[in-house]
Structure 1
Amino acid sequence: MNKLFFKIFILVLLLSHPAFSKSNSPLLPDIPSGIKKIDLGDTAKINALLRLASTYVNKPGEQADDLSNAINYGNQALSLSHQYHFLPQEIAAYSLLSQSYREKKDIVAGRKYAEQGVKLLPKNSTTIEAADVLAELSTYYDATNADSLIIKINYFTKSVGILRKVAPRTKKLADGLKFLGDLKNSRYDLKEAVSLLNESLALYQLLGVKQLQDIYDLLGDALTSSGNTVEGLSYQLKALKTAEMFKDTSQMISTIYYRLAFTYNSINQDNRTAEYMDKASYYALKNRNNNDWIMISGSLGTIYNKLGRYREAVKTCEEALIKCPTTDYQNQTNLITNLLFAATATKKLDKASGYYNRLKQLTDAHNIELSPTDAAMIEYLIAMKQFPEAELQVEKFIKYAAVTQSLISKQKIEHYQFQVDSARGNFLSAISHQENAHLLRDSMLSRNYNKQIGRMQMTFDLQKKDQEIAFKAKHIDLLTHQNQLQNSALHSQKMIRNLFIASVLLLMALLAVLYNRYKLKHQANNDLQEQQEEINTQNEYLRQLVDEREWLLKEVHHRVKNNLQIVISLLNSQLSNIKDVVAIDVIRDSQNRMRSISLIHQKLYQFDNLATIDAGDYIREIALYLQDSFDTFGHIKLRVDVAPVRLDVSQAVPIGLILNEAITNSIKYAFADQTDKQVSINLTSTDNHVRLMISDNGKGLSPEIDIKQSKSLGMQLMTGLSRQIRAQLKITSNNGLTIELEWQQADPFHTSTHRGV
């Protein structure tokens, strides 16, 4: 029964494909207000919505958002198609909604949509929409129930019949034929199943489809079930080869291994059966397909019992039984059957009794038929010497064998009847059953023997042909070679002698060259090593010189900064003895200038970079120092906006002095009685050109002052310093005074020593 159940389960998976539908029922939703805003024809609107719904429902996986979008677009398409009486689109919408709800696990709602779509079909309808909705409705019928399976096949047969008319030579028809063939195989309509699957395979090949492992596997299973084991096995091996060629690790490879295992089981190759069944279990677990893994575990337990590997059977089935859903009665039955068989075979009759009772409850409560469960129960009842009950169970097993036409099942029945009749004293009947059991066993052995002889003969013939071809080719090559030897024997001997002498000479010359190259290379390596040691010594000496130079430079900058601070302090002391205001201003201006220069030397010895300073930090410190020096906090706002620019020392001193003069001038002379006093400093850099702008919002210069003719010390300083760094100096007076200085940024690695001011 495991094999039948697996066929049905795989069939349900294969039949989960898109379907379309229409309505005039309570399922009909309201028309969304926004949909009429689409500037398209009515048919185009509906078709667009149907394509959207189909896209979302057929996306890989079953995401909640995708299914919600599919339902939303499907409802819109259903509303419009019903409003405008577009029957094909309405049927398509019902079919899509059915599929969406089915994948959302709302089976009741999904089935209602499918049934409503089928009700709308005109008599003898031959449209793609009709084929799809019939196929969709068939998915709601349980293939494990005989009556339900007939209805399922009926609907799908109608769907395929329509596709033959409206979609010949299409992949859609090939898929339909494949699914229908699998359904027929599940119902043991094997001749029809093989015919449909062959037709599907031919159509796939005509369409150029390469990945045919699923159809090969189905066809192989149908052929082996119908008794054509050799051809069936060839298709199944072709399915495995195709899957491996395309590196298929999906659930399909698990299915292929599972069916191959059953085929090898049918020809009593039990070890190969266990090997393939174990691989099927591995891939089912790898693909996280819990249901298939549970079902395969049941089959694996069966073959372990057959091989006498009872511990492995018990372990496998107990692990699967823990994860088996409580509502999965079929797999529960299979697993407990194996546990009952193993317990009976190992004489653990107390455990066997518990398994028997559980099995009896399951089969009676849920009407589970056509299962090897009967065989396990018979084994247990005979072991417990409950022969009347065993006889009743044998009767049930006879019905199962009549459906499957399995020789193994028939042989077991005869063996069980022999045991029951022997125990009850019906010796004539027992002898008859024993003879029948032996005949069936001999028949199976004969069948297997003939197959083995056929395979051996085929292998022998192929090997013989290969040997004949190889012998003929070898014989021709031998004759040709002998002829060549006879024609060139003397010439070859002479050539060999000459080649040998030449080879010896060439070898000696090669050895001499190699020895010479070795000596040269050895000498070169020694020279390089000496040079490298000398270079390393020089590098170390240079590094020490560089470190010493950097230390000396920092010490020089430090001392210059200290000397400038001493001068500033001396001037500050002198201020206490001077009463002349003009003289005091002159000395303070000089202090500020020296402070600007002192800041540069301070920054040079505080940081590792002895060539440049950060313009931003330098300008801010000068500005804050001058603001503090003139005590303008709270009176004059100072706004500093500078770009990340580094200044060479030769540029920093002149720029610092110009900045000092400009800010001092603005603080001292720019403002009168105005309240909003502001001095702005802006430094920008573009394409290696730097621009410094110092501006205030004061009264500006008096109109009678000629900047170019000015003899003031501050103006002379700014003019002279700007020339020194080759900068353009521009002074404008418009709503305040603006001093603008623009120069090209110097390369610190190509800058000479400081030029004098």
Structure 2
Amino acid sequence: MKQFIFLVVLCLSAIAAESQSSSPPVRTIRRILNRNTVDTIQVNSLLNLSRYYIFKAGEQIHDLDTALLMIQQSRTLSQSLSYHKGMANADFCSYLAWLEKGDHRQAILYAQRAIDRFTRYGYWQLLGALYLEMTRLYTLDLDELPDKIDCYQKALLSFERAGDKARQMDMYKELADHHQVQENYVQALAELQSALTISRQIGRTDLERIYDLMGFVSTKLGDYKEGLTYGLLAVKLAEERKDSTIQLCTIYNRLGLTYYALGQFKQANNYYRKALRIARQFHETPYVLALTSNIAKLLLHQHKPQQALRFLKSQIEQYPPITAESKLIVAPLFLDIYAELNQVKLAHSYCDQVLDLLAKKGDGSVGRAPIYESAIRFLITSKQFTRAHYYLQLNAMQCRENGSIKDLSRNHLLWFKLDSSQANYQAAIQHFQRYEALQDSLLNATKSQQIAQLEIQYETQKKDQNIKLKQQAIQLLTKQSQLQQNQLQQANTIRNGIIAGTILLILLLGLGFNRYQLKQHSNQLLEVKQIEINRKNHDLERIVQEKDNLLIDKEQLLTDKDHLLEEREWMLKEMHHRVKNNLQIITSLLHSQGSFLKDKEALSAIRESQNRVHAMALIHQKLYQTDRLSSIPMVSYVQEIVDYLINSFNRVDTVRKQITVAPIDLDVTYAVPLGLILNEAVTNSLKYAFPDGRVGTLWVDLMGDKNNTYRLVIGDDGVGFPADLNPSRSRTLGMSLIRGLSEQIEGVLDISQQKGVRISLTFVEEKNARVPA
């Protein structure tokens, strides 16, 4: 008792300085401590007051010491009262105080004591709260993240035993958020489905964070439709609730990432900008730099490096990166931009800065692979092959440790480029084959993830159905009770009915006996007829059985036919896939060979060969990517060839394209010659029609009529042919190819020039005929 009075004096002295501005709870606790009665109320008051000092804004060391003193006295009083909950809570508060002091060893010691007491006496709600606080012991670094997730899982189990649905929903959300950081997207989606199910059970409406995470995780799984649906739903709910927190910034940013993955850059930029405005309102530098990175990457992807550079500089002037983590966001962007602008010196400086930051920060964290890729690409381009080889090995090792197949596949592709640049073609092919194998495994993994996602949806629907069945069972039991009462009421009516029925039964028996004698005679006649009917039925059954056997044989033959057709279709697709891959390897080898040639004519020949191979590779790519194995959609095919050639000759800013192609699907035997003719004609225009960077227009028209007659027109408004050149007698490889391919498809070729060059080819597609090779 004396110790308690002494502590009360100390506690009142400690809060005397707070007396003028203390909050109502503190004043209430002060009145309780003034009482002379020693009971559990005194214990809980001391613990509540200790929490006040632990979580006090701007607490000092002496505040935490005061809190520890109060906790110790509450523990002593709890022991004297045999108050187990008070002793357990005292250990919990000790953990919080030592954690605030920064002494993790002491904090973990008291946390374990609290866990033992909470578990022994079944205080599951408090145990869940303790595990939730213990997540503060760990960071999101790769080596600490599993421990943090383990604490959330134990908190979830505790809240389940306590029956706290709201906290269970929160734990599922936290687990999903941390599993997506681990790139365990299937597990994260399962947890989000559980959180959504619980939220519906308890009537929660603040679901925007759940929908936001579901959209983000679905996008990571490659399910962009679901990602967009959930992302837009999260935005809708947040805007309807007039959310003004930093969470809205995250929702906008993740929806922008989904649009970026879909290639809808305008919408992506719109949501990135919305998120950036919110981040700037809250002066959150990490958010601002992350969104600046996304917008700059978008501009760089659209081949706008100067605009990306101006935007990046304008943002970091206002929000300069200070920490190593924030510098790792900005420095790789500068490296990519200056490399794109061919400012090698500046790019080299940022490359060294990026690699230095990675060495100091540690290269084992998730998400480092894209940073290494930027540095390695530059090292290969700037012919720093030894350094590139070192960092390729380092990145491959980290990708294997992190289990990132996607990053490892891209690393092999970079290794392929390095070996190709060094003319080490055997190693280059091996790395490219590894890249292809990993890409195929990624495709299979994506399918497995989608199957797992469907299984999760099925299990969720099954749980919902079970809940509905239970509700229906309750309703059924209620109805059965009412039915029993009705049955009791009807019992008397039934008894009276039985008496009346007995009398009627006697009368009916007499009548029935008379009818029985009459039927006996009729039955004898019917039996004779039935024998004849049975004989005919037997014959009919035999005929029907024979017919059924014939139908079964027919169905089996049809099944075998369908199976063979499916195998043929699969083999054709696989053949086109492999042909396309081989043509890509040829293109890469030509590109690598070209990097060692100095002669301009040889370089031009190599480039033209690359373009011809690319035109044929596109055919095979179209064939295995669609369900049509013998026809090519000419709209996308023509568009991709022209875009590829303009980009290849770096004439995006000087040559404007006008492409008009009817929605035509041509047989592959026509599409291949047309693709090569288009390649030669466009290549000729880009090389000679607009000399010295002259601006001009290139147009391509492909039209047809109902008689399967088609007309391909390729023209430009360039300088035209030289005066001494006759196109019809030219023996150049390009013109020879155009004339030869035109004859191959029996087309009428016309070459003229008036304000440029105009090449017209008219041909007829014979649906059931094969163009001669």
- Higher RCO (CA-CA < 8 Å; seq separation 6+): 1
TM-score by length of 2: 0.47
